[in-house]
Every structure is written in C-alpha cells, then in structure tokens.
Amino acid sequence: MYTNCARSINSRCLLKILKFTTPAIPKASLSTEASFELKEFKLHNLEEGPKTNVSVTKDDAVDYYCKMYTLRRLETLAGNFYKEKIVRGFCHLYSGQEACAVGMHAAMRPEDSVITAYRCHGWTHLMGVNVLGVLAELTGRESGCSRGKGGSMHMYARNFYGGNGIVGAQVPLGAGVALASHYRHGKGTCFALYGDGAANQGQVFEVYNMSKLWKVPVIYVCENNGYGMGTSVERASANTNYYTRGDFVPGIWVDGMDVLAVREASRFAIEHCESGKGPIVLETATYRYSGHSMSDPGTSYRSRDEIQEVRQTRDPITSFREKILNAELIDLDELKAIEAKIRSSVDEAGKKAKVDKEISVEELTTDIYANPENLQNVRNVTPLAHLQHKRLGTAVNL
C-alpha cells in the first residue's frame, strides 16, 4: 500500500482563497449555526439511538458541501475518462452516495480507519490523497497514489485500507484492522463498508459472530443502494432490513442521502464501540446514479424515470445545498463562487492526469512487499527467470 500524493485541499482553505474575490456580505445577514430535524432512525437491539435534532456550524456545513461537491465532480471526470478509453480495467462510480462517505468522515477521529469495496475514489480523496492523485491513478500515471499500478480499486492512504476488488472480502479485514488498533494502541474504530450485494455472504455473518464474541470495535456499514449489480434487494434478500441482520449485533438504519443523519449515526456508532460494547451495524439507505460499473448502462433493470425521480427529490448534494441556503448559513453568490472554484480545480487536475508520465517497465516490480529486506526476487511469468524487487516509496499503515 503506497502513496506519493499530497494532502487534499481543505475546503476551509478554499474559503480563505475565495474571500478576496467574493462580494462582501454583511455578517448580520448570515447565521453562524443552524438546527435541523432529521428523519427518524430505525433501531435494532438498542434502547436509544442517535439524536434527531442536530445543529451544524456554517464552517462545518460549507466543509461538508465542498467535499460532496468535489466527490461528484471527481466521479464525473472519472466516468468521462472511461468513456474516452483513458481509464483501463474496472471503474465503479460513487455518484449519488456522497453523503455516506462525507457523513462518516465528519464523525471520524484521527485514530479511526476505513476499509471499503471498489467504489473507493471518493474515500481515497477524503482520507488525504489530492484529486490529481486519484485521477492519475485511474489513468495509470506516476503521480497516481499507487503510481498508476493499482487503478480504480486499489487506492490507499493513511488509515484507509482500500479499495478491495473481491466482493465482501474487506468486511473481515475491517474487523481485523479494528482488533489490531485496540490491541496495539487501546483505541480506534474501523468502518468496514460493503454493499447490499455483499450482505448475504457467509463471511459477513461469520465476522459478526467473532467480533461480537471479542467485543471488537468495528462499525459494519451496509451501503444499501438498492441493487447488487443488476439485482434489486427484494429479489436477492429474504430480509431487506440489513441493519437487523447482525441478530445479536445492534443496528441502526439511517437516511444515507442526508449527510447530517449519517454524521450523527456514525458518532453514535463510534461511542458505542469505544464504550466496550463491541460491534454495531449501520445501514445507509442510498442510491447510485450510474450502473454497477461503467460497463453497465444501469437502465436494463430500472427505469430512467426512477433515476430521475431520485435526482430531483433526494439528491444528497442539492438537498443539502437547499438546507444551508434556506438556513442562511451561506449566501448564494458565495456558494456559486465556491462551486466554480471546485470545478476549476478538479478539471485542472484532470488535465494533468491525462498527460503525466507513465512509470517505466522496470518499476512494475517495486513496492510489492512491505518488508523486502530478505526478498531479492519476484516470481516472473517465466519459471526461474526472476525479477528483482526494489523499494522506492514509503509504505503506509504499517
């Protein structure tokens, strides 16, 4: 797991950049904090759940909005790159599900970690890799966070364990990360994300049992976007209430299209784990606009009207935009200026990701092993004609 990318631009820094170009707004005309009523949470094996009346400061609200807007723009470029045949291999987009990642990230502490499946572009950025590092990884360039060798499904950052291509395999790994964190440091939880399509796998139920027995501080997050590839949840699962599937493991259903709801559920889950009660399951009810992957048009098993209805009534970005504008946390002109700055920044990174250099053939066998001192050779396609292993970068998460 290797990264050579800088930290991402913080949205608060972006606001500082914009303050010299945005028309001055009288402070008295805007609020510094606002309260919102959330949709009721559904609970399993819990006497009480997250609070539904929450507040958010202007700085935090704008920060969440900037992050969601950036992820959407990033995924739009990723999809365009694939259509232009610049991205090779698989490409799974996160568009529509941004509130899930940003809400969880808002609740995380420095000692907490994340592991997810193959929709990992947005998480990679949230966990510290800049937009160029993500897009260049997709295009196979040396400025990619894995120097172009990982591609869409294998991106990593500090406390971010990928990016995993095997459906459901990351769930027990997440429990292991959480166990290791408490064993070594006595603190830290791990968010182990998976989709409704992986929720029926045996390894998921096995690790529910193990983590409950050992009180492992792991938060299992089922991102229920309604479809496992092209199969609806109703056709795939006898019980579609995924937050109850842990049986003896408590669970919470949360509106995954509301970033504040996800933030509150995640805060509650972290507190639950850190109190020594063991694992908990979060089900985030969300939606993906694209197909399962870029090779799937996504319209053979659902109608275009269904997709459009979600875009118009439940989109996580536009709905949060309306909330913060109506609450007078930000002025429309200021928000438009921020959006324009993000579009420009992401698009500029996209241009660089297209023209950056590819790594040399000799570098294909570098940075494979974390501790290569006793490993001089790497197995080749030709027996006995070994390749030499080298360390060029710095390993993360060791």
The answer on pLDDT for 7 being more than 50 is no
Are 246 and 393 in a shared domain?
no
Are 263 and 127 in a shared domain?
yes
**Chain center to CA of 358:** 26
| Alpha carbon distance 162, 223 (integer Å) | 16
Whether residue 4 lies inside any domain: the answer is no
Question: Of 354, 345, 348, 351, which is closest to residue 141 (Cα–Cα)?
Answer: 354
Are 340 and 380 in a shared domain?
no
Phi and psi at residue 194, to the nearest 5°: -155, 165
List the CATH number of the domain containing 335: 3.40.50.970
Q: What pLDDT shows up at residue 374? A: 66
- Mean model confidence pLDDT for the chain: 92
**Do the beta carbons of residue 246 and residue 213 sit within 8 Å?**
no
**Do the beta carbons of residue 15 and residue 25 sit within 8 Å?**
no
| Alpha carbon distance 252, 242 (integer Å) | 9
Question: Of 203, 189, 197, which is closest to residue 223 (Cα–Cα)?
Answer: 197
Number of domains in the chain: 2
Are 121 and 230 in a shared domain?
yes
Q: What pLDDT shows up at residue 74? A: 98
Whether residue 132 lies inside any domain: the answer is yes
| Alpha carbon distance 165, 198 (integer Å) | 12
Whether residue 314 lies inside any domain: the answer is yes
* Confidence class for position 22, pLDDT limits 50, 70, 90: very low
Q: Which of 153-162, 247-256, 367-376 has the lowest mean pLDDT?
A: 367-376
Are 250 and 374 in a shared domain?
no
CA-based R_g, the chain, Å: 21
Are 124 and 186 in a shared domain?
yes
Are 84 and 174 in a shared domain?
yes
Are 258 and 380 in a shared domain?
no
Quick check: pTM over 0.75? yes
* Helix or strand run (H / E) with residue 183: helix 170-185
Whether residue 153 lies inside any domain: the answer is yes
Q: How many residues does the chain have?
A: 398
Are 338 and 393 in a shared domain?
no
The answer on pLDDT for 46 being more than 70 is yes
Are 263 and 385 in a shared domain?
no
Amino acid at 180: A
Whether residue 289 lies inside any domain: the answer is yes
Range 20-31 average pLDDT: 57
Collapsing DSSP to helix, strand or coil, 115 comes out as strand
Whether residue 176 lies inside any domain: the answer is yes
Whether residue 3 lies inside any domain: the answer is no
- What are the pLDDT digits (tens) for 48-67? 999 999 999 999 999 999 99
Are 130 and 228 in a shared domain?
yes
Are 195 and 334 in a shared domain?
yes
Non-local CB neighbours of 362 within 8 Å, separated by 6+ positions: none
Provide, rounded to the nearest whole percent, the portion of the chain with pLDDT above 90: 80
Whether residue 6 lies inside any domain: the answer is no
The answer on pLDDT for 208 being more than 90 is yes
Domain residue limits at 190: 11-359
